[in-house]
Chain A
Amino acid sequence: MDIFAEFCAEVCKNAPRTTYGEERDLKAELGAHLEDHFEALTLRGVPEDEAALRAVREMGDPVEIGRAINAELSAFWLHVGIAAKFLTVLLIFAAITPLLTKLEPAYHNIEARLSPNYDDQYNIHETVDFPCDLFLDVYGGTVRVYGYRLYRANEYSALQLECVAYADNPFRASPGNEFAFSFSVSESALPGVGAKMPYSDSGATYLCPIFLFYSDPERVNVVFEHYGVHHEFELELDWSDVP
């Protein structure tokens, strides 16, 4: 009967120290008691509905019974159960941690596609002096030029390109930083040099080729050459605010 099952469940709910086997036995024992009482009442002519209600009512408060039974049980298995749950969570965490590590390159790759960010210093359109957005296709990936800076370096005027290289496949490591040396500017006094340190095992390599000039060119033609891949673009340089 449903009300018998409900009563037994309520008792067991209030006896959390019971093991699985003890709970099953307790439910069976209480259930048999209720059935016996119900049967005795119906034999005495009590209608079935009333007999069922009386059998439950005469058992007493299931909460109180459950708590009293709980007080008689050892907490050992309850503590073992809690420890087992804790260990399970720990094992799951230990199992997924290497997976999360593998996702790190993908995270950097996607970040480079959406909003390039090197140590929170070079957010596109935020901290770059002159934002631009050029995508240079290379074998297996892309070199994205997302801005440039102008500054003075001793007797030279310097142009620093802000670039990031990433693979087409987000789960693969990004192409190396040799791309920094694939840029050239014809007007520069010295060839392009310099590259930021890439993230370790990263999906994105940040590059900053630097070009030095004897004067302040108003316009430069940037050439990118890498194993037969050729890209060319023009940048207008405004030196008026450069100290």
Chain B
Amino acid sequence: MAQAMEHTRLLVLSLLSVRDMYGYEMIAELERRFDKTFSMKEGTLYPVLRALENSGALKSYQQETPAGRVRKYYRLTKKGAALLSEETRLWREYEKAINSVVTPLAEPV
């Protein structure tokens, strides 16, 4: 769960940097973008959202749909934007490190 939360945090911050979203909307968006190459248990999203909200990276507000369903939207704060930059930088470094090992091995000798 802890490892899944680390990856999910970056994904959530990235999604919310574009626009405010609610939980299921984030899952649906991830599903659409990954096109079934990556799947996660949907419930793992909520502890991540709670942690980010507690740390001040996100703010939430409720909005009612025309159908009467109350949805909790999340918005990225300045602190969240800074966190996203830091997480992105770490991810790039990680990606670079992985590529430096994987790419030469993958090339035909």
Binding site for B on A (CB under 8 A): 11, 25-26, 28-30, 32-33, 35-37, 40, 58-62, 64-65, 68-69, 71-73
Contact = CB atoms under 8 A, between A and B. Distances in A.
A68 B24 contact: no
Given A29-B23, A33-B27, A37-B42, 16 more contacts: A29-B46, A30-B43, A32-B24, A32-B69, A32-B70, A32-B72, A33-B42, A35-B69, A64-B43, A68-B1, A68-B46, A68-B47, A69-B50, A72-B51, A73-B50, A73-B54
A65 B47 contact: yes
A72 B69 contact: no
Nearest to B65: A32
B41 A59 contact: yes
Interface of B: 1, 5, 22-24, 27-28, 41-44, 46-47, 50-51, 54, 69-72
B54 A72 contact: yes
Contacts of B50: 69, 72-73
Among B42, B43, B50, B69: residue with most chain A CB under 10 A: B43
Given A32-B71, A65-B47, A58 B24 contact: no
A59 B27 CA distance: 10
B8 to A, nearest CB: 11
Nearest to B39: A58
Nearest to B71: A32
Contact of B70 (A11, A28, A60, A64): A28
A11 B24 contact: no
Given A40-B28, A72-B50, A60 B43 contact: yes
Nearest to B69: A32
A30 B46 contact: yes
5 contacts: A32-B71, A37-B27, A65-B44, A68-B5, A68-B44
Nearest to A68: B47
Contacts of B5: 68
B71 A61 contact: no
B50 to A, nearest CB: 4
Contacts of B43: 11, 30, 59-62, 64-65
B60 to A, nearest CB: 9
B63 to A, nearest CB: 11
Given A64-B1, A72-B50, A36 B42 contact: no
B64 to A, nearest CB: 11
A33 B24 contact: yes
Among A28, A68, A69, A73: residue with most chain B CB under 10 A: A68
A73 B51 CA distance: 8
B70 A58 contact: no
A68 to B, nearest CB: 4
Contacts of B71: 32
A59 B41 CA distance: 5
A68 B28 CA distance: 22
